[in-house]
Amino acid sequence: MKDYLARYFSGKSAIKRVLALFVVVVLALTLVAPVDAYASAAKINKKSATIYVGSTTQLRLTGTKIKSVKTSKKTVATVSKAGKVAGKKAGKATITLTGTNKKEYKCKVTVKDTKINKTAISLEVGKKYQLKLTGTKIKSVKTSNKNIATVTKDGKVEGKKAGTATITLVGKNKKNHSCKVTVKEKKYTVKSLQITGMTGKDGTSAVTATIPLVGDTLTAVLDNKKASNQVTYQWYRGDAEISGATAANYTVTGDDKGAILSVKISTDNKNVIIYSSANSQETAHKVCQKLENITTELSKTTDARVEDTIEVTIRDGNTDLIAGTQVEIKWYRGEINEQNDRGADNENAYNVGVDDLGEPIICKLTGKPDMGYYGEVVLKTNDILPQALAP
């Protein structure tokens, strides 16, 4: 063999023979090497994928062609001859593509259910909420009661009136996705509360009445009138609830005299506000009885004479009022003015003198609000007659 090679590469033809051999080797390498490299580069475009029921994903091979396909669980995911994978139900499956190079290429597929972002919502009348689908697009929509809630083509729900309705979004995968909608009346915020209907004036204002009087009908007034049908009321006499006083209005009774009245409201959004007849005052205004509604009378009115003693009766039920404490008493002659003031302040009796002859005697009563009495009463005698002659 050595002798043969020596003779083959010797002589004048040696160079030609070497060159020919080189060309053959190069050609062999050029033809064989790319085929091996191409084969080793074959691969699948996805080794794992997540899709939703009703959706698809495309698997491909590079470096070789698909010869056959198979799925480990066709109830979860199927695969076409071209490598298109379709989700059938939630679960996991392995898709295998076999190339023309006889090698297998696998992709682990996870299939998820499409879903709606909310299965139940609560909203107020006039409010809106956006429903969305994950894993598919909305194909159509419907509502079980359009008077309660409506829905737009893109899934926006609007509350129309109080009640419940079911909104259904149908996906392009033909699956229904439902949401139960509870519509409530709009809640209105109450920040402040006042009481109106107090007819007594405390002397600090000529306009604002701030003293509750027996017989007044008080009204709890909210700063937001729209909330009036969404609150509950409870009136109090001092710290005690007044039985049955659960409306916005309350008529003051004699049982309330001397007490501070208040009203408490409770709203749907759980805030509680209490307002009393003393809220805007440094001193609490107790309920007062009007003097005109109690017994006030003079012992003589038609035949009063000089030297007579005129007594005044001020009685609330069976109780006589205390002069100077519960009521202020002033006596006048002729007219009520400072000049005619007889100087008998807070006296329950007045002794008629000669100077009073021919003029009426006037008794002016003024209630003390801080002691539960309000208003003025003026009592008047006839023109004083001369002293009666002794028989």
Token pair in block for residue 258? 């001397």
Domain boundaries, the chain: 43-112, 115-184, 193-287, 290-383
CATH number of 193-287: 2.60.40.2700
Determine the residue type at 372. Answer: G
Asked if 43-112 and 290-383 have one fold, the answer is yes
Is it the case that residue 164 has pLDDT exceeding 60? Answer: yes
257 backbone φψ class: left, alpha, beta (φ>0; ψ -120 to 50): beta
215: left (phi over 0), alpha (psi -120 to 50) or beta: left
Residues 6+ apart with CB under 8 A from 243: none
Highest mean pLDDT out of 4-13, 232-241, 296-305: 296-305
The pLDDT value recorded for residue 132 is 96
Q: Find all residues with CB under 8 Å of 151, minimum gap 6, and list them.
A: 131, 141, 142, 143, 157, 158, 167, 169
- pLDDT for 281: 43
pLDDT in tens, 58-84: 999 999 999 999 999 999 999 999 999
CA distance 231 to 264: 10
| Model confidence band, residue 38 (pLDDT cutoffs 50, 70, 90) | very low
**Which phi and psi angles does 156 have, rounded to 5°?**
-85, 120
State the Cα–Cα distance between residues 133 and 154, nearest whole angstrom: 10
Q: Report the percentage of the chain scoring pLDDT > 90.
A: 63
The CATH number fitting domain 290-383, selected from 2.30.30.30, 1.20.1240.10, 3.30.1010.10, 2.60.40.2700:
2.60.40.2700
Q: Does domain 43-112 have CATH number 3.60.20.10?
A: no
Whether the CB-CB separation of 366 and 376 falls below 8 Å is answered with yes
What CATH number is given for 115-184 in this structure?
2.60.40.1080
- Residue 324's pLDDT band (cuts 50, 70, 90): very high
Least confident segment among 25-34, 225-234, 288-297: 25-34
pLDDT at 269: 53
Q: Which residue(s) pair with 129 in the sheet?
A: 157
Q: What is the dihedral of CA 314, 320, 322, 327, to 10 degrees?
A: -30
